[in-house]
Amino acid sequence: MDRASVAVVGGSLGGLTAACLLRDDGHDVTVYERSPRPLEQRGAGIGFLEASYRYLVDRAGLALDEVSIATDHIRYLHRDGTVASDGEHRYLFSSWNTVYRRLLDHWGREGYLLDHEMTDFDSDESGATVNFGGRTVDADLLVCADGVGSMARSRLQPTALSTYAGYVAWRGMVPEAQLTPGTAARLGDAITYYVYANSHILVYPIPGLEGSVEPGDRLINFVWYRNYLEGDDLDDVLTDRNGERRDLSMPPGLATDHHVAEVRATAAARLPSVLAELVERTAEPFLQVVYDVEVDRMAFGNICLLGDAAFSVRPHAAAGTAKAADDGWALAEALDAAPDVSSALAAWEPRQLEVGRRLLERTRDIGRRSQVDNTWEAGDPEFIFGLHGPGR
């Protein structure tokens, strides 16, 4: 179709990737991000699947080894630290900061409007109108990439199911140089798992806070899934040191001292010592609550939901950013092939719904097996990361 005006709401990885792709195709794109300053997630790791790096490599001209770290082993440990299983498999790991900075550098600062929170929107056959707390913008297409807590989803799909998975991910990372040399060496060439009763932890190397991928400058990142009952138990861990009950995450530095102490003590008591050291040396462990969010529509005339604003899936396939990017690539193709926005979105929706549903199903199953049923065998290939299936 001809040049369309596009408003992308949400300037994180999903929104930025879609914005870059649509601009490349000649559309007139503006990104609106509610945060008053450029986003920062302090470098937490991401599994770097093909869809997650496709734009940076194919369009932004970056080499994979500039932005990610390759590991060649999937290793499981026993409680005493000996190796339970060691399979060869190549993974790439990057960090949220690294990918965001590279995408934003490529996009440029023009047309990336901070401090713009979408407060209302409407649409008719000719396009969409978006309100940012007073300022109103018209666009032919409104792309809502406003994340797991999407206001657009709650308006467009009020019956969408958002279900707490029963557990949270405690996360953190430590510079390699701050670990004992033996620990850094053991954790630097693999993804390392420890699976035990109703819990598992995984550990992998990621770029340093400034993006360096050089050995010695890197961070070792952990994601530790732990069950908390909905109600008092969850409320307590999500109440920050200022007494505020958080919804989706507990940012670094805000977890209460008694929960940080409990996490460190449990690491010492329950994890292999090499993993316990990593948790104990993490200055400010933080957490993300794990939700399943499921929609049955992603296209609404001239408006679409993209990335976590549509489906938000458990992180076990490391595919959240890949799914958001895949939504963007498919959107660009659909707009290219269709005569107008609404027919493009109608053509785009079925495949993206299917990708989201299948990923949700798969990650639910992994979560059930690891956190509830305890049927996760060390080295099981079913658990290999992938957007479309294990290793794909």
Ligand X SMILES: Cc1cc2nc3c(=O)[nH]c(=O)nc-3n(C[C@H](O)[C@H](O)[C@H](O)COP(=O)(O)OP(=O)(O)OC[C@H]3O[C@@H](n4cnc5c(N)ncnc54)[C@H](O)[C@@H]3O)c2cc1C
Using CB under 6 A, pick the residue from 4, 6, 14, 234 that binds ligand X. Answer: 14
Local structure of residue 371 (DSSP, 8 states): I
Three-state SS sequence of 153-200: HHHHCCCCEEEEEEEEEEEEEEEHHHCCHHHHHHHCCEEEEEEECCEE
Residues 292-321 that bind ligand X (CB under 6 A): 307-309, 315, 318-321
Binding flags for ligand X, 322-351, as an x/- string (CB under 6 A): x-x---------------------------
Number of C-beta neighbours around residue 340 at 10 A: 16
Binding flags for ligand X, 17-46, as an x/- string (CB under 6 A): ---------------xxxx---x------x
Using CB under 6 A, pick the residue from 146, 176, 277, 349 that binds ligand X. Answer: 146
Pick 266 or 288: Cβ nearer ligand X? 288
Nearest approach, Cβ of 254 to ligand X (angstroms)? 16
Nearest approach, Cβ of 306 to ligand X (angstroms)? 7
Q: At what angle do helices 13-24 and 320-337 cross, to 10 degrees?
A: 30
Binding flags for ligand X, 150-189, as an x/- string (CB under 6 A): -x-----------------x--------------------
Q: How far is CA 69 from the centre of its chain?
A: 17
C-alpha dist (Å) from residue 350 to 70, 123, 345: 34, 21, 9
Cα(365)–Cα(334) distance, rounded to whole angstroms? 31
- Burial (CB < 10 A; 0-12, 13-18, 19+), residue 227, is middle
Binding flags for ligand X, 225-264, as an x/- string (CB under 6 A): ----------------------------------------
3-state secondary structure (DSSP) of residue 59: coil
Using CB under 6 A, pick the residue from 47, 172, 208, 285 that binds ligand X. Answer: 47
Number of residues that make up the chain: 392
Contact 82, 202 (CB under 8 A): no
Q: Count of residues binding ligand X (CB under 6 A)? A: 35
Cα(245)–Cα(76) distance, rounded to whole angstroms? 35
Nearest approach, Cβ of 103 to ligand X (angstroms)? 10
Give the range of 9-17, 172-180, 258-266, 366-374 binding ligand X by CB under 6 A: 9-17
Using CB under 6 A, pick the residue from 11, 127, 172, 272 that binds ligand X. Answer: 11
117 binds ligand X per the rule CB under 6 A: yes
Enumerate the β-bridge partners of residue 9: 32, 144
Give the interface with ligand X as residue ranges (CB under 6 A).
9-15, 32-35, 39, 46-47, 52, 117-118, 145-148, 151, 169, 223, 288, 307-309, 315, 318-322, 324
